[in-house]
């Protein structure tokens, strides 16, 4: 057992890495596809193997790898390489000041490692939360990997102007997953920081894939924001080493030094794109869809909230915790308002991602058992529903050449399968009694119990606007409007496979809600807090499952019932005479006029132009004041 165990983690993190190298070297699209499938399967199996071994071992937290000298050296070398690469890119694209951030933080960590003696300790830890993240990353990330094989082919058929660097792109996706495994399994801040930096740099490369002016600007924005968070991380490492001579994450949580926690929370906030750092996430939508799906549903942003959830016990009741939960709640409401004004489907998804993350962050910031319970649920449901939505939007864009929600009018007749996937994803995001809404319910209950009126109000208003933007999208999809020219569905089999599996996962997660609570979420809360409370009782959970069934069954049953009803189909009322196809009417000059239907976007009221700047300024000033107070506490 012991020997296998020691190799299991390197194997798991190594598989995507080896896969990435093979993918990178292979320029034949067909064999590259098979390599990807094989890598994904191997990755899933290894993640499952790790989990099963861990459960068989008695589900105790493992602390592994004390002596890792050569690995540390390799990491340091790689960190320097990364820094040189960033500096090179910054100078190449004339954004020289960003290189400063990279040099500073890499220099700082290296200096700490060589000058400050640290107590010898372990480097990785395997516990239920880390394993959950591994499973999410391996399965959802893996499915996105499968999807990207077909997607990239269609993408380059539609975007002839973009240089085909698919093998680099696909390889980077797998390197990213490898780094993500490393990140969640690290117990040591220095290791975690290393993987943190890799995810920052890879997201930068993925966002800049198309190398258009916009892509480059946005990728550098993502880079500097994430490096800024990384800088916070580096400062936290330095402080830990200086004060405690230990950089173990659980010791930091136990000692709960406000300055260190604050710095780490800053890193978490940037990674999870909270205000004022939200702009990098919606800028990241210029990248091909698989990278958006991967970065914004299953991995990158989840790394941020993962760190915050780890910190949750230390955040509870402290100044940092209050601020983190405020920023989260504020982000939740502001970004869900801004999402109303977006007509680009990916932008809507981006805003909704940020707002859901805000909710998770708010839960983590309160840092009691119930809120963390809700946060973990939100994380699970969000990753499955959101990745599915991203995939469906990407596939639709390849087929109809646009990702504007207005152009998805009547998608249910044009591309029925994609419309169903999208519909299930959307329902999963906000409808009672699907996962996200239940999690929101739990969060609401937990906020009420913790006596935080501000967050209760945030969640009340935020879910109202969430409802608005999803419903109007759903309304567009369901319009029964036959197009003149049928659309050709260019979605490939592997894309459909990925979406179908994600659909199945989303629905079964809702059905298995009670099991999920009992076997996954409760143990995690237990391991973080040493105690766990059922926020929802078993009877409530079962009611929920019955409700999910009824939501699925009722429309289906009604479909069967109403299908029998005989009816005459008539044209719609248009005030002018309907020409007969429900899309033209005769106007007062007797000419046939085209009817245009559009959703409500309320750009003037809820547009980014109006809301983004003030909310960024508010969030930034709150952060600045907080750090001033923390710094004052340290110096006095």
Partner 1 sequence: MTRVLSLILYLILAPFVGAFLDGIDRKITARMQGRKGPPIWQPFYDLFKLFSKQMIAVNSVQLLLNCSYLIFLAVAGGMVFFGTDILMSLFILSTADMFLILAASSDSSPYSNIGASREMMQMMSYEPMTLLIAVGFYLATGSFRVDEIIAQETCAFWMMPGLFVGFILIMAIKLRKSPFDLSTSHHAHQEVVKGITTEMSGPTLAIMEIGEYYEKMLLLAVVALFFIDSSIISWILGIVLCLGVYFLEILIDNVCARVNWHKLLDICWLITLLCGGINILILMLI
* Residue appearing with tokens 């479909």: 559
Q: Does 531 bind partner 1 (CB under 8 A)?
A: no
Residue 437 engages partner 1 in binding (rule: CB under 8 A): yes
Distance CA 396, CA 491 (A): 8
Single out the segment in contact with partner 1 by CB under 8 A; choices: 24-32, 270-278, 366-374, 449-457: 449-457
Closest to partner 1 by CB, 161 or 451: 451
367: three-class secondary structure by DSSP: coil
Which C-beta is closer to partner 1: that of 107 or that of 483?
A: 483
Does the protein bind partner 1 through residue 465 (CB under 8 A)?
Answer: yes
CB of 467 to partner 1, least distance (A): 6
Can you list the positions of beta strands (E) in 415-473?
Answer: none
| Residue 248 DSSP SS3 | strand
φ, ψ for residue 318 (rounded to 5)? -95, 170
As a whole number of angstroms, the distance between CA 149 and CA 290 comes to 9
First to last CA, the chain: 52
Residue 588 engages partner 1 in binding (rule: CB under 8 A): no
467 is a site residue for partner 1 (CB under 8 A): yes
DSSP 128-187: HHHHHHHHHIIIIIHHHHHHHHHHHHHHHHH-TTS---HHHHHHHHHHHHHHHHHHHHB-
- State how far the Cα of 577 lies from the Cα of 219, in Å rounded to an integer: 51
Are the beta carbons of 466 and 336 closer than 8 angstroms?
yes
**Among the residue ranges 62-70, 193-201, 206-214, 549-557, the one whose residues contact partner 1 (CB under 8 A):** 549-557
410, 482 in Cβ contact below 8 A?
Answer: yes
Least distance between partner 1 and beta carbon 231 (Å): 38
Rounded CA-CA distance 555/494 in Å is 29
184 versus 541: smaller Cβ distance to partner 1: 541
CA distance linking residue 88 with residue 93, whole number of Å: 9
- Residue 520 has a CB neighbour count (10 Å cut-off) of 18
Contact pattern for partner 1 over residues 568 through 587, marking x by CB under 8 A: xxxxxxxx------xx----
Interaction with partner 1 in 145-174: which residues (CB under 8 A)?
none
Cβ closer to partner 1: 81 or 457?
457
| Piece in contact with partner 1 (CB under 8 A), picked from 184-192, 341-349, 544-552, 611-619 | 544-552
Binding partner 1 (rule: CB under 8 A), the pick from 530, 566, 590, 632 is 566
Closest distance of CB 455 from partner 1, Å: 11
DSSP codes joined into one string, 71-86: HHHHHHHHHHHHHHHH
The half-sphere exposure of 159 on its side-chain side, counting CA atoms within 13 A, is 21
Quick one: 58 or 451, whose CB is closer to partner 1? Answer: 451
Looking at beta carbons only, is 519 or 600 nearer to partner 1? 600
Structure token pair of residue 167? 């093998």
409 lies in the site for partner 1, by CB under 8 A: yes
Whether residue 252 contacts residue 189, with contact meaning beta carbons closer than 8 Å, is answered with yes
Of 201 and 459, which CB lies nearer to partner 1 in the complex structure?
459
Measured CA to CA in angstroms, residue 441 lies from 374, 425, 503, 504 at distances of: 9, 19, 22, 23
**Residue 545 binds partner 1 (CB under 8 A):** no
What minimum distance in Å lies between the beta carbon of 550 and partner 1?
A: 7
| DSSP label of 333 | H
Residue nearer to partner 1 on the CB measure, 182 or 358: 358
Burial state string for 157-174 with b = 16 or more CB within 10 A and e = fewer than 16 = eeeeeeeeebbebbbbbb
- State which residue, 240 or 389, has the beta carbon closest to partner 1: 389
Neighbours of 324 (CB within 10 A): 31
97 contributes a contact to partner 1 by CB under 8 A? no
Cβ at position 62, least distance to partner 1 in Å: 40
Q: Is the dihedral of CA 142, 147, 153, 155 positive or negative?
A: negative
Q: Does 555 bind partner 1 (CB under 8 A)?
A: yes
Contact between 512 and partner 1 per CB under 8 A: no
Q: How many Å apart are CA 88 and CA 66, to the nearest integer?
A: 35
Which of 19, 142, 410, 425 is in the footprint of partner 1 by CB under 8 A?
410
Q: Could you tell me if 194 and 13 are in contact, meaning their C-beta atoms sit under 8 angstroms apart?
A: no
Measured from the CB atom, the residue of 23 and 535 that comes closer to partner 1 is 535
Measured from the CB atom, is 531 or 561 closer to partner 1? 561
The reply on whether position 554 binds partner 1 by CB under 8 A is yes
Stretch that binds partner 1, among 36-44, 81-89, 301-309, 562-570 (CB under 8 A): 562-570
> Which sign does the torsion angle of CA 92, 97, 103, 109 carry?
negative
Report 468-497 residues binding partner 1 (CB under 8 A). 468, 471-472, 474-476, 478-481
Site for partner 1 contains 504 (CB under 8 A): no
Centroid of chain to Cα 386: 8
Number of residues that bind partner 1 (CB under 8 A): 60
Residue with smaller CB distance to partner 1, 116 or 448: 448
Structure tokens at 325: 């939960």
Which residue from 43, 311, 323, 459 is in contact with partner 1, where contact means CB under 8 A?
A: 459
Measured over the CA atoms of residue 81, residue 87, residue 93 and residue 98, the dihedral's sign is positive
Q: How far is the CB of 543 from partner 1 (least distance, A)?
A: 7
The alpha carbon of residue 548 and the mean position of all alpha carbons in its chain are separated, in whole angstroms, by 24
State the nearest-atom distance from the C-beta of 435 to partner 1, in Å: 13
Q: Determine which residue in the list 45, 52, 549, 558 makes contact with partner 1, applying CB under 8 A.
A: 558
Among 117, 451, 530, 632, binds partner 1 (CB under 8 A): 451
Among 547, 552, 579, 611, binds partner 1 (CB under 8 A): 547
Binding site for partner 1 (CB under 8 A): 409-410, 431-433, 437, 441, 444-445, 448, 451, 453, 456-457, 459-461, 463-465, 467-468, 471-472, 474-476, 478-481, 540, 543-544, 547, 550-551, 554-555, 558-559, 561-562, 565-575, 582-583, 595, 597, 599-600
């Amino acid at each position: 057992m012991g020997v296998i165990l020691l190799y299991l983690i390197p194997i798991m993190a190594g598989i995507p890495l080896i896969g990435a190298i093979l993918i990178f070297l292979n320029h034949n699209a067909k064999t590259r596809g098979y390599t990807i499938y094989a890598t994904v399967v191997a990755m899933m199996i290894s993640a499952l193997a790790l989990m099963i071994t861990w459960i068989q071992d008695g589900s105790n937290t493992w602390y592994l790898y004390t002596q890792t000298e050569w690995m540390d050296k390799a990491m340091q070398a790689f960190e320097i390489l990364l820094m040189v690469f960033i500096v090179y890119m910054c100078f190449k694209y004339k954004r020289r000041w960003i290189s400063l951030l990279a040099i500073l933080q890499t220099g700082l960590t290296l200096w700490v490692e060589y000058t400050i003696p640290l107590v010898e300790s372990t480097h990785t830890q395997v516990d239920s939360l880390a394993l959950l993240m591994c499973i999410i990353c391996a399965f959802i990330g893996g499915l996105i990997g499968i999807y990207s094989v077909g997607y990239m082919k269609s993408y380059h058929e539609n975007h002839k102007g973009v240089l085909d660097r698919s093998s680099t792109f696909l390889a980077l996706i797998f390197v990213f997953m490898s780094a993500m495994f490393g990140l969640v399994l690290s117990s040591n801040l220095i290791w975690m920081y290393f993987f943190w930096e890799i995810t920052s740099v890879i997201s930068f490369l993925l966002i800049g894939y198309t190398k258009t002016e916009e892509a480059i600007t946005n990728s550098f924005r993502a880079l500097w924001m994430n490096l800024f968070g990384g800088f916070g991380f580096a400062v936290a490492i330095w402080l830990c080493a200086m004060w405690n001579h230990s950089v173990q994450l659980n010791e930091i949580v136990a000692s709960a030094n406000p300055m260190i926690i604050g710095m780490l929370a800053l890193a978490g906030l940037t990674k999870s794109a909270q205000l004022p750092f939200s702009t990098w996430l919606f800028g990241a939508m210029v990248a091909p869809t698989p990278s958006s799906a991967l970065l914004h549903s299953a991995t990158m942003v989840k790394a941020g909230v993962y760190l915050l959830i780890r910190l949750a016990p230390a955040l509870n009741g402290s100044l940092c915790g209050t601020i983190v939960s405020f920023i989260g709640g504020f982000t939740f409401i502001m970004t869900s308002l801004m999402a109303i004004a977006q007509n680009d489907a990916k932008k809507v998804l981006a805003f909704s991602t940020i707002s859901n993350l805000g909710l998770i962050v708010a839960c983590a910031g309160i840092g009691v058992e119930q809120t963390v319970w809700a946060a973990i649920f939100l994380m699970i449901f969000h990753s499955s529903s959101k990745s599915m939505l991203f995939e469906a939007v990407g596939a639709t864009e390849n087929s109809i050449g646009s990702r504007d929600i207005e152009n998805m009018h009547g998608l249910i007749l044009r591309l029925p399968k994609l419309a169903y996937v999208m519909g299930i994803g959307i329902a999963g995001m906000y409808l009672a009694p699907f996962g996200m809404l239940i999690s929101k319910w739990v969060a609401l209950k937990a906020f009420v119990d913790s006596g935080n009126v501000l967050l209760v109000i945030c969640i009340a208003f935020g879910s109202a606007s969430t409802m608005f933007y999803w419903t109007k999208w759903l309304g567009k999809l369901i319009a029964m409007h036959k197009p003149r020219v049928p659309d050709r569905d260019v979605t490939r089999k592997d894309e459909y496979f990925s979406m179908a599996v994600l659909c199945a996962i989303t629905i079964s997660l809702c059905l298995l809600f009670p099991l999920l609570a009992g076997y996954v979420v409760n143990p995690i809360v237990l391991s973080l807090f040493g105690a766990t409370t059922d926020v929802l009782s078993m009877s409530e959970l079962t009611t929920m499952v019955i409700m999910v069934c009824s939501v699925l069954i009722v429309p289906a049953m009604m479909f069967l019932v109403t299908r029998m009803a005989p009816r005459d189909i008539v044209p719609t009322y248009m005030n002018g005479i309907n020409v007969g196809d429900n899309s033209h009417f005769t106007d007062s000059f007797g000419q046939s006029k085209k009817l245009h239907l559009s959703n409500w976007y309320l750009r003037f009221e809820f547009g980014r132009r109006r809301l983004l700047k003030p909310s960024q300024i508010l969030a930034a000033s709150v952060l600045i004041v907080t750090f001033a107070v923390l710094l004052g506490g340290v110096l006095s």
